[in-house]
Chains A and B, each alone.
Chain A
Amino acid sequence: MGVLLENFTTVTFPQIAMWIIGALLIFLAIKKEMEPSLLLPMGFGAILINLPNSGAKHIIDVLFRVGVDNEFGELMPLILFIGIGAMIDFTPLLTNPKLMLFGAAAQFGIFFTLCLASLLGFDIKDAASIGIIGAADGPTAIAVSMELESKYVGAIMVAAYSYMALVPLVQPPIIKLCTTKKERLIRMDNTAGKAPSKMTKILFPIVVTVIVGLVAPDAVALIGFLMFGNLIRECGVLNSLSETAQKVLANLVTIFLGITISARMRAEEFLTVDTLLIIGLGLFAFIFDTFAGVMLAKIMNIFSKKKINPMIGAAGISAFPMSARVVHKLGLEEDNQNFLLMHSIGVNVSGQIASVIAGGLILTFFS
Chain B
Amino acid sequence: MLSANILSMKMPLSEALAVSLIGIATVIVILAVIACLIILVSKAIRAIEAKTSSEKEETPAPAPAAPMAKGTSAGQVELINTNEKEAAVIMAIVAEKTGLSLERLSFKSIKLMEDEKKGDENK
Digit string of A98-110 for contact with B (CB within 8 Å is 1, else 0)? 1011011101101
Q: What's the nearest-Cβ distance from chain B to residue A132, in Å? A: 11
Q: Is the CB of B30 within 8 A of A357?
A: yes
Nearest-CB distance from A355 to chain B (Å)? 9
B20 near A115: Cβ-Cβ < 8 Å = yes
Give the docked Cα–Cα distance between A101 and B24 (Å): 11
Whether A350 touches B31, Cβ cut-off 8 Å, given contacts A118-B11, A200-B38, A365-B19, is: yes
Contact A362 B23 (CB under 8 A): yes
Contact of A256 with B by CB under 8 A: no
Q: Name the interface residues of B1-27: CB closer than 8 Å to any CB of A.
A: 2, 5-6, 9-11, 13, 16-17, 19-21, 23-24, 26-27
Does A114 have its Cβ within 8 Å of any Cβ on chain B?
Answer: yes
Interface status of A52 (Cβ within 8 A of chain B)? no
CB distance from B103 to the nearest CB of A (A): 20
Shortest CB distance B116–A (Å): 46
Minimal Cβ-Cβ distance residue in B for A195: B42
Mask of A198-221 contacts with B, CB within 8 angstroms, 1/0: 011001100110011001100000
Is B49's CB within 8 Å of the partner chain A?
yes
Asked whether, in the complex, the Cβ of A103 is within 8 Å of the Cβ of B31, the reply is yes
Within 8 A of B (CB), among A231-280: none
On chain B, the residues within 8 Å of A123 by CB distance are 9-10
Q: Is the Cβ of A124 less than 8 Å from the Cβ of B21?
A: no
In the complex, which residues of chain A have a beta carbon less than 8 angstroms from the beta carbon of B2? 365
CB atoms of B13 and A197 under 8 A apart: no
Q: Say if the beta carbon of A14 comes within 8 Å of chain B.
A: no
B28 on interface, CB distance cutoff 8 Å: yes
Of B16, B21, B38, B45, the residue contacting A97 (CB under 8 A) is B38
- What separation, in Å, do the CA atoms of A98 and B31 have in the docked complex? 9
Distance A353 CA – B33 CA, assembled complex (angstroms) = 13
B31 touches A197 (CB 8 A): no
A304 to chain B minimum Cβ distance, whole angstroms, is 15
A82 at interface, CB cutoff 8 A: no
Complex Cα spacing A124 to B6, Å: 7
- Chain A residue with Cβ nearest B26: A361
Assuming the contacts A100-B32, A111-B21, A200-B45, asked whether A354 and B37 have C-beta atoms less than 8 A apart, the reply is no
Question: Taking chain B's interface residues, is the majority helix, strand, or loop, or is none over half, making it mixed?
Answer: helix
In the bound complex, CA of A93 to CA of B38 (Å): 9
State the majority secondary structure of interface residues on A.
helix
Mask, B29-63, CB within 8 Å of A = 1, is 01111111111011001100100000000000000
Q: Is A328 an interface residue (CB 8 A)?
A: no
Question: Within residues 75 to 128 of chain A, which ones have a CB less than 8 A from any CB in chain B?
Answer: 93-94, 97-98, 100-101, 103-105, 107-108, 110-112, 114-115, 118-119, 123-125, 127
Interface centre among B19, B27, B42, B46 (most CB of A within 10 A): B27
Query: Chain B residues with Cβ under 8 A from A197's Cβ?
Result: 42, 45-46, 49
From A97, A207, A215, A216, name the one whose CB has the most chain B CB atoms within 10 angstroms.
A97
**A104-B28, A124-B9 are known contacts. Are A365 and B23 too (CB-CB below 8 A)?**
yes
Question: What is the chain A residue whose CB lies nearest that of B13?
Answer: A119
User: Would you give 21 A-B contacts (Cβ < 8 Å), ordered by A?
Assistant: A97-B36, A97-B39, A100-B34, A101-B28, A101-B32, A104-B24, A108-B24, A111-B20, A127-B11, A194-B42, A197-B45, A207-B34, A211-B33, A212-B30, A353-B34, A354-B27, A357-B27, A358-B24, A361-B26, A361-B27, A362-B23
Residues of B bordering A, CB below 8 Å: 2, 5-6, 9-11, 13, 16-17, 19-21, 23-24, 26-28, 30-39, 41-42, 45-46, 49
Q: Can you list the 5 inter-chain pairs with the closest CB atoms, starting with the nearest?
A: A111-B20, A123-B9, A97-B35, A100-B35, A97-B38
Q: A interface vs B, CB < 8 Å?
A: 93-94, 97-98, 100-101, 103-105, 107-108, 110-112, 114-115, 118-119, 123-125, 127, 194, 196-197, 199-200, 203-204, 207-208, 211-212, 215-216, 350, 353-354, 357-358, 361-362, 365-366
